[in-house]
Amino acid sequence: MSRNAESTAFRSALEVVRGVEPRVAAAIAAELADQRESLKLIASENYASPATLLAMGNWFSDKYAEGTVGRRFYAGCQNVDTVEALAAEHARELFGASHAYVQPHSGIDANLVAFWAILADRVESPALRKAQARQVNDLTEADWFALRRELGNQRMLGMSLDAGGHLTHGFRPNISGKMFDQRSYGTDPATGLIDYDRVAEAAREFKPLILVAGYSAYPRKVNFRIMREIADSVGATFMVDMAHFAGLVAGKVFTGDFDPVPHAHIVTTTTHKSLRGPRGGMVLCGPELADQVDRGCPMVLGGPLPHVMAAKAVALAEARRPDFADYAQRIVDNAQALADGLLRRGASLVTGGTDNHLVLIDVSGYGLTGRQAEQALLDSGIVTNRNSVPQDPNGAWYTSGIRIGTPALTTRGLGAPEMDATAELIHTVLSQTTPGTGPDGAPSKAKYVLDPAVAESVGKQAADLLTPFPLYPSVDLG
């Protein structure tokens, strides 16, 4: 594709938007400028291709298509069927899954679809069976009451939040923490790694209906073969949420015991993190759960987003190309270079390193909270996010960690030398920042002191690091 075509496409689109609401066009252009200038180390973000972005901006957005391919509640869905079928086919081929459901609007929605499919498949409830057999008129008020009681209160065992698990794995602020009776497994305090014997013990004691693996902030591989054996030993359904690391599975960096697809009963993911597609979610499963998963809409989802499914098909086609495997390997190589650079300079890392796309710095070694570190880095042009570390003494708001990840910078083309330079910049900021005090002179977990000259100098060096690696080089907005 010529650079010219991409520039023309985005320029024309902006011109059309500008004609209606110029402030929106200006904000879109400003977002590109901001992204181009920032050293983005947010582990959950990436840069989708121009083809993926362009596939979203069209009249597919206008179409209602509740149901599934070939079985819609609306007429005239033949073109939606085409893109949904293509996205699902690419997903099945890419991940070696027998079934793919590409409608979820986000990762949380994909998890809701999976939870419902598992409940519908597993919960022993005569009322639920009647409802599923569409004998709804036979259900009494007492049946409905029993159904609600039986569907709630099911048991889920997932990774604890402070060990890197996700809100949707049964934690209070999310509906999963209210629907499910939840327990969590953590990591070994000495090594920071998942202790599979402890997971097995927790599963034996708790007997969960669902065992969940997957994380947002655990910097290591997970052995899904062992997790499946644990699930089988207690009759649990094994679900893997690969939202963060789907790109590493797609790129065949995680294979064998570390590839969730052959081991899990059901796998959920986002499409916009390391997988580098449009914002959205997806569910993969075997034939046993396929029918229930396909009821995601209208069970827990509204009408599908056909324009996003079109973009998913494009991004998944890209991920099936050989150069995506090369990209996935570079993500991990870069994370290791970043971890090595930080360790060499004396930083303390949770688990002592990484074997995926992310690194978790324990900033208490610098005498800072995660919040202080995050803001000081941001002042210096380095975009990260604060994150709990295992057994975090500062809680989930202030935290003691900084999570950094390499999918986005790797897309731009940065490599090991730039990762080492990035480690130097991070270390400089964190070692030059000191905790501040509140109005009463008491130590503050939020305030910090950083010489503006240091922030400015680091910001300039961060910008210089990016100069040889332009973001969206094919897009010139003029």
Ligand X SMILES: *Cc1c(COP(=O)(O)O)cnc(C)c1O
3-state secondary structure (DSSP) of residue 115 = helix
Annotation says 279 is catalytic:
yes
Set 6, 241, 340, 379: catalytic member: 241
- State the amino acid at position 71 in one-letter form: R
Q: Of 270, 410, 411, 422, which is the active-site residue? A: 270
Cβ proximity to ligand X: between 158 and 341 the closer is: 158
Residue 199: how many other CB atoms lie within 10 Å: 21
**Active-site hit among 36, 122, 279, 447:** 279
Catalytic site residue from 18, 36, 63, 64: 64
Nearest approach, Cβ of residue 26 and ligand X (Å): 27
- What is the torsion angle, in degrees rounded to the nearest 10, for the CA atoms of residue 219, residue 270, residue 174 and residue 357? 10
Least CB distance to ligand X at residue 99 (A) = 20
Pairing status of strand 67-68 against strand 71-72 = antiparallel
Choose between 101 and 448: whose C-beta lies nearer to ligand X.
101
Residue number of the CB closest to ligand X reads 107
447 catalytic? Reply is no
Query: Which of residues 77 and 239 has its CB atom nearest to ligand X in the complex?
Result: 239
Residue where the block lists tokens 């003494």: 393
> Toward ligand X, which CB reaches closer, 38 or 46?
46
- For the CB of residue 244, give the shortest distance to ligand X in the complex, in Å: 5
Cβ contact 402:377 at 8 Å: yes
Torsion from C-alpha of 403, 406, 412, 415, nearest 10 degrees: 130
- At residue 467's C-alpha, the angle toward residues 462 and 470, to 5°, is 120
Nearest Cα to 95, choosing from 288, 218, 249?
249
- Residue 369 falls in the annotated catalytic set: no
Instruction: Note the maximum CA span of the chain.
Output: 74
Take residue 18 and report the two structure tokens written for it: 């500008």
Closer residue to ligand X in complex, CB, 158/306 = 158
Q: Which is nearer to ligand X, 125 or 356 (CB)?
A: 356
10 Å Cβ neighbour count for 416? 15
Name residue 212's amino acid: V
The total number of residues shown for the chain amounts to: 478
Quote the least distance from Cβ 45 to ligand X, whole Å: 10
Smallest gap from Cβ 430 to ligand X, in A, equals 25
Cα 255 to Cα 239, 240, 286: the distances in Å are: 17, 15, 18
- Decide whether 111 or 372 has the Cβ nearer to ligand X: 111
Report d(CA 85, CA 304) in Å as an integer. 13
E strands within 142-272?
A: 154-159, 180-185, 210-214, 237-241, 266-270
Task: Clarify whether 185 is annotated catalytic.
Answer: no
Least separation in angstroms between CB 370 and ligand X = 17
Residue 285 C-beta: closest distance to ligand X, Å: 16
Residue among 37, 66, 121, 195 flagged as catalytic: 66
CA 110 from chain centre, in angstroms, equals 11
For this structure, is 183 an active site residue?
A: no
Q: Which amino acid is at 412?
A: R
Nearer to ligand X, 125 or 385 (CB): 385
C-beta of 27: minimal distance to ligand X in Å?
Answer: 21
Distance between CA atoms of residues 137 and 414, nearest Å? 62
Indicate if 241 belongs to the active site: yes
Residues that bind ligand X (CB under 6 A): 44, 106-108, 166, 168, 214-216, 241, 243-244, 270, 281
Q: What angle do CA 412, 413, 419 make, to 5 degrees?
A: 105
Q: Which residues carry out catalysis?
A: 64, 66, 241, 270, 273, 279
